[in-house]
Amino acid sequence: MEKTFRDGVLRNLSNKIPPKLKKKRTTVFQEIQNLINVEESPKKKKKITTENFEFSSPNTKNNKKLVISLIKQKFEIVRFSSKELLGEEEVIATAIREDPFSLYWASDRLKLDEKFLLPLIKDDENVFSEVHPMLQSDKNFVLKSIKNNWKVVTLLSKELIKDENLMKSAIQENGLALEYCSESMKNDKEIVEEAVKSEWSSLEFASPEIRSNKEFMFKMIKIDQFCFSVISEDLQVDKELQWKSKKYFKCFREVETKNLTFSFK
């Protein structure tokens, strides 16, 4: 039985040999042996790379170790991962460290997981843009996000921007958040003062009315001398304000205004 099978195989293989070679017995057997070796040799596995991963088998796409290593080379790989891996914290966190918008591909479970999300938002505010819509409108979560990273205010909805409690929290973290506040907040002396105490340059984003208020601007200059550089042009050339403010200029020797330059020792 075995001999018959082998003879049949040899006949099939001999049919593949060119007619000219069949005249030489040794050559025939050598050619047959070569064909046997080719057909019996195992096929080499194709190496999985960032270029061919998209077309790989389901098992390969579910190989956590491989997927993580490929994501580090090219973050877009995450989109072709298995559904199981898109729910794995380590896989998604690796992708987010490469590109914050990679959270888009994560499972809804991870997009709703505050414990998982907040540390990532702390590292990059853009992660907030891809969290689940339910969390994006949840004021408690938004407040936690702001305390982790004040720049989250740049991604808030118009409705949440109007929320003074949220924006005040952002200003406490960094006064520059005043830039994204509503016009009414930019015209609120208490809020502007809070912003300036955190970051003097935030005064630039106060309303024109505020920056033209001589008494209030003098108060801001007392908080930080550099506020003088962002008050209204009219006040910058106001001699009374200049001389009242001069004792608060501790760091630079010369203050230049539109119409006057005066120096301090």
Residue 262: strand pairing partners:
255
Q: How far apart are CA 197 and CA 117, in angstroms?
A: 30
Residue 217 three-state SS: helix
pLDDT value, residue 259: 43
First to last CA, the chain: 111
Torsion angle defined by CA atoms of residues 189, 192, 193 and 198, in that order, rounded to the nearest 10 degrees: 170
pLDDT of residue 238: 82
pLDDT in tens, 162-217: 999 999 999 999 999 999 999 999 999 999 999 999 999 999 999 999 999 999 99
To the question of pTM greater than 0.75 for the whole model, the response is: no
Tell me the sheet residues that pair with 263. 254
User: 263: helix, coil or strand?
Assistant: strand
SS3 197: helix
Sign of the torsion angle spanned by Cα atoms 153, 154, 159, 162: positive
- Counting as low any pLDDT under 70, the low residues of the chain are 1-45, 248-265
Residue 166: which residues within 8 A CB-CB, separation 6 or more? 139, 142, 143, 146, 153, 156, 160
Q: Are the C-beta atoms of residues 213 and 239 closer than 8 Å to each other?
A: no
